[in-house]
Amino acid sequence: MKPFHSATVRSGGNAKTIKGDKAGEFVTAIMYLAPARMAGGANLCSMATLAGCDPSHGGGCLVKAGRASYTPNINLARIAKTQRYLASREAFLAELVRDIGRFARKAAKHGLKPAVRLNGTSDILWETAHPCYRNGQRFASIFEAFPEVQFYDYTKVYKRVSKALPANYSLTLSYSEASRAYADAVKMAATWSKVNVAVVFRTKAIRDSYMAAADGFEGVEVIDGDETDMRFLDPKGATHVVGLYAKGNDAKRDSSGFVID
């Protein structure tokens, strides 16, 4: 099957998408925007400073990972896309609706279920203040407009899990020890919401040691988060640590507190 490409969401061309495809039932697409204030204007990652991942302050942001670390045009394209979002949210959402519609139709054509991550390198609250139109009908959110699509994201905005989310939107909290206040807030939010928490470990060996430990990571069972990126398939009903390990030299050397030893 050929990769699906579009102006806003993209699938088939990155490692995380490929890992998702291996499950055989879903095909995934991820939208990458410029994080924090990289594109100027509003901050698209409100917890970036506290969580230590603001790229403008040397934080461990994924915007510096993969091909974007050595292909400047990738981040220039992300900045241009983000500026479209900041200039006219309504027009951007119309473009996003069009592209997700195309992606969903192509997925159905191949007998696959569509899954979409809107926050590949951003942390926008898409469930709030983002109404859109599909086929002339107004919807409160992109999730309501596409009930046939499974949406999922990682988030550092831990307060998002305190409210009811759309049935087809799954959030996984993202852990960091850059700030003790942030780390404690994430653990507290996970405890009462029972939402899973993604933790990036320095090496695979360290991650695997926590998976094998009877008490997991800080008393929470650790599961393999690298087997697939499709977090909505992870166990639910009790909090689990989704164990990932750092890839790439920058991530392995990260000292912000995002990568755990």
CA 137 from chain center: how many Å?
28
* Residues 153, 175, 37, 251, CA torsion sign: negative
CB neighbourhood size of 225 (10 A): 22
Please state, in angstroms and as integers, the Cα–Cα distance from residue 49 to each residue in 154, 155, 203, 230, following that order.
17, 14, 25, 27
> E strands, the chain, where?
10-11, 26-30, 113-117, 132-134, 137-139, 150-155, 169-174, 197-201, 222-224, 241-245, 259-260
Please check whether residue 227 lies inside any domain of the structure.
yes
The answer to whether residue 3 is domain-embedded is no
Residue tagged 């994430």 (tokens): 186
Instruction: Please give the structure tokens belonging to residue 152.
Output: 């999922």
State which H helix or E strand residue 90 sits in: helix 89-109
Separation CA 87–CA 142 (nearest Å): 19
Give which of 86, 68, 69 is closest to 77, Cα–Cα: 68
Encode pLDDT of 216-234 as tens digits: 999 999 999 999 999 999 9
Chain-wide mean pLDDT for the chain?
A: 87
In a domain, 186, yes or no: yes
Q: What is the pLDDT of residue 5?
A: 39
CB 97 within 8 A of CB 88: no
In this structure, what token pair is assigned to residue 207? 């991650």
**Residue 165 confidence (pLDDT):** 95
pTM: 0.88
Q: How far apart are the C-alpha atoms of 19 and 62, rounded to whole Å?
A: 17
pLDDT band at 13 (very low <50, low <70, confident <90, very high): very low
Number of domains in the chain: 1
- The answer to whether residue 4 sits within a structural domain is no
From 22-31, 131-140, 237-246, the region with the lowest mean pLDDT: 22-31
Residue 221 lies in a domain: yes
| 217 DSSP β-pair partners | 220
Domain coverage including residue 24? 10-260
Contact between 201 and 243 under an 8 Å Cβ cutoff? The reply is yes
Q: How confident is the model at residue 251 (pLDDT cuts 50, 70, 90)?
A: confident
Q: Is residue 164 part of a domain?
A: yes
Higher pLDDT, 19 or 62: 62
Residue 5 lies in a domain: no
- pLDDT tens digits for range 149-198: 999 999 999 999 999 999 999 999 999 999 999 999 999 999 999 999 99
- Three-state DSSP at 174 gives strand
- Distance (Å, rounded) from C-alpha 57 to C-alpha 63? 13
pLDDT 10s digits, 40-97: 888 999 998 888 776 765 556 665 555 544 466 777 889 999 999 999 999 999 999 9
Quote the DSSP letter at residue 149. Answer: S
1 occurs within a structural domain: no
